[in-house]
Amino acid sequence: MITANEPSTQRKPLPDWRQSLRDAVTDPGELLALVGLPQLAARLPAADAGFAVKVPRGFIARMRCGDPHDPLLLQVLPQLAELDEAPGFTDDAVGDLDAVAAHGMLHKYEGRALLIAAGSCAVNCRYCFRRHFPYAEELAAAHAWREAIDCLSKDTSIREVILSGGDPLVLSTHKLTDLTDGLHGASHVIRVRIHSRLPVVLPERIDDAFCAWLSALPLQRVVVLHANHPNELDASVEAACARLRDAGATLLNQSVLLRGVNDDADALTRLSERLFACGVLPYYLHQLDRVRGTSHFEVADARARGLVDSLRARLPGYLVPRLVRELPGANAKRPI
Ligand SMILES: *Cc1c(COP(=O)(O)O)cnc(C)c1O
Ligand code: SF4
């Protein structure tokens, strides 16, 4: 008998992700007003240093109102310190410009090719290397992925295609389908990996059409999320993770260690616990790429090692992320 309390398998429809993307806050003054800190507007840098503010409203809703040290706010709010020149902080800190094999394809590591699929993101993270990368010229999705598909099809050493960016999930599902259709004959490619911050900052992106595409792929599927702090992972993110897992994806997370945001053992412990509750395993904890304008986020290696030692003492081994740094020219991410 069907009762009035029938457990609902039908969930509330998701907001349209393209609309949410268009609605992102781009005015730092509005961002500060929304989190109850209008007085901080006077302390914003006059210029955005060429890297505009961009934050989805759903992400802002997870910030603590009235807290200038909120770990989510600090990731997206421009600071005067971005204008500091710090020695060793440059425009192409990880040597990406030397590794471009075809339009938008980076082939630095054996068996894995990384496609710079998109030039933009749903959020602009102030610590990001993307601040200075000349993406407009290097997009794999240009010309219907033609050059990338040719390259991937010819190089039979490539087992895994990594979609990165920018953020590949700002592309339409149609566009993603063009790529995976194009790879149909390349039987040496057995795995697709997506690196994206959208499941966290814009979880409605993981909609039915996307999940249908993902689950139908004749490939192993890995989605690497990017969350830096447990407060980022609310119920909407947890639900997006469940949809990704239902579509057959293995879920991992990478974080960047950021001074003032997540450089404390409690926050990192809670992040790992919260990720696991969402069905996600911690993968990498990155030392910051030394990109101009980000030195105020840097955590010294000795302190970073100490933090990971505390995690190891507190958590099961599978919840301790690998602390790594990317070095130009290296054949893998370098453990610290
Ligand atoms: C980080 C990265 C990869 C992936 O490295 P994993 O250690 O397999 O996660 C592949 N290609 C490039 C260019 C990268 O920067
Ligand atoms: S590439 Fe990742 S870290 Fe950089 S701005 Fe985009 S979402 Fe943020």
pLDDT in tens, 158-197: 999 999 988 999 999 999 999 999 999 999 999 999 999 9
What's the gap in Å between 130 CA and the centre of ligand 2? 7
Ligand 1, residues 96, 98, 107, 114: which to mutate, most atoms within 8 A of Cβ?
114
Q: Is 162 in the pocket of ligand 1 (CB under 6 A)?
A: yes
CA pseudo-torsion sign 271, 273, 274, 278: positive
pLDDT at residue 137 greater than cutoff 80: no
Computed over every residue of the chain, the mean pLDDT equals 91
235/10 Cα distance (integer angstroms)? 17
Instruction: Please work out whether the CB of residue 128 comes within 6 Å of at least one atom of ligand 2.
Output: yes
Assign 3-class secondary structure to 132-177: CCCHHHCCCCHHHHHHHHHHHHHCCCCCEEEEECCCHHHCCHHHHH
Report the percent of the chain where pLDDT is more than 70.
90
C-alpha distance from residue 311 to each of 230, 242, 280, 308, 315 (Å): 15, 26, 17, 5, 6
- CA 121 to ligand 2: nearest atom: 6
Check if 53 has its Cβ closer than 6 Å to any atom of ligand 2. Answer: no
Q: In the predicted model, what is the mean pLDDT of residues 11-38?
A: 95
The backbone region for 36, taken as left when phi is positive above 0, alpha when psi lies in -120 to 50, beta otherwise, is left
Cβ of 106 closer than 6 Å to ligand 1, yes or no, is yes
Ligand lying nearest the CA atom of residue 128: 2
| Closest-lying ligand 1 atom to the alpha carbon of residue 162 | 10
The letter for the amino acid at 159 is R
Average pLDDT over residues 150-159: 96
- Domains, the chain, in order of start with CATH, read 17-83 (no CATH), 97-335 (3.20.20.70)
Per residue in 222-280, pLDDT (tens digit) is 999 999 999 999 999 999 999 999 999 999 999 999 999 999 999 999 999 999 999 99
Mutate to test the pocket of ligand 2, among 121, 131, 262, 326 (most ligand atoms within 8 A of CB): 121
Q: What are the pLDDT digits (tens) for 47-101?
A: 666 789 999 999 999 999 999 999 999 999 999 898 888 888 887 666 665 556 5
Residue 109 in contact with ligand 1 by CB distance below 6 A: yes
Which amino acid is present at 97?
Answer: L
Between the CA of 109 and the centroid of ligand 1 the distance, in Å, is: 6
